[in-house]
């Protein structure tokens, strides 16, 4: 793993995709909405031609996640975008795609596509969902503010 990954793929993945994407429902969004960027990245790796590797695979994953965000901006996909400037959004998507391909797929899974479909990826996704929901709770719930009594 790279130094930047901090040896915690779920935490880093969640931080990276929350920079550009949020599930639409404020309270208790569905799992597939919470994990959509990860699902798109995973599916892209599984369906990509095996000749795509390294930077090419990163670009393919980034392109598919960008298409998701195009649908979000056009309101044909439920969910929320974060950036008004699409250039900033594309940069955040590229960082997410790079981390997903390099650190998760190549480093954590040693480039084994079967792991993307397997239990290891499910554990990462489950952890990402928990982290996403915890961050949301901390952000919106006044009970987590030490100055507020619930």
**What are the extents of the domains in the chain?**
8-144
Minimal CA–CA distance to 44: which of 120, 86, 104, 3?
104
CA-CA-CA-CA torsion sign (27, 133, 123, 91)? positive
| pLDDT tens track, the chain, 150 positions | 444 444 588 999 999 999 999 888 766 788 999 999 999 999 999 999 999 999 999 999 999 999 999 999 888 777 777 877 889 999 999 999 999 999 999 999 999 999 999 999 999 999 999 999 888 665 545 555 555 554
Task: Note the pLDDT of residue 4.
Answer: 45
Task: Note the pLDDT of residue 58.
Answer: 98
């Amino acid at each position: 793993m790279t130094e930047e990954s901090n040896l915690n793929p779920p935490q880093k993945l969640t931080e990276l995709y929350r920079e550009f994407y949020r599930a639409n429902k404020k309270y208790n969004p569905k799992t597939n909405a919470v994990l959509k960027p990860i699902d798109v990245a995973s599916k892209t790796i599984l369906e990509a031609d095996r000749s795509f590797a390294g930077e090419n695979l990163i670009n393919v994953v980034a392109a598919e996640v960008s298409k998701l965000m195009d649908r979000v901006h056009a309101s044909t996909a439920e969910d929320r975008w974060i950036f008004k400037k699409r250039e900033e959004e594309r940069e955040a998507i590229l960082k997410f795609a790079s981390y997903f391909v390099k650190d998760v797929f190549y480093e954590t899974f040693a480039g084994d596509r079967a792991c993307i479909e397997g239990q290891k990826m499910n554990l990462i996704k489950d952890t990402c969902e928990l982290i996403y929901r915890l961050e949301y709770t901390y952000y919106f719930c006044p009970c987590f503010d030490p100055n507020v009594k619930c």
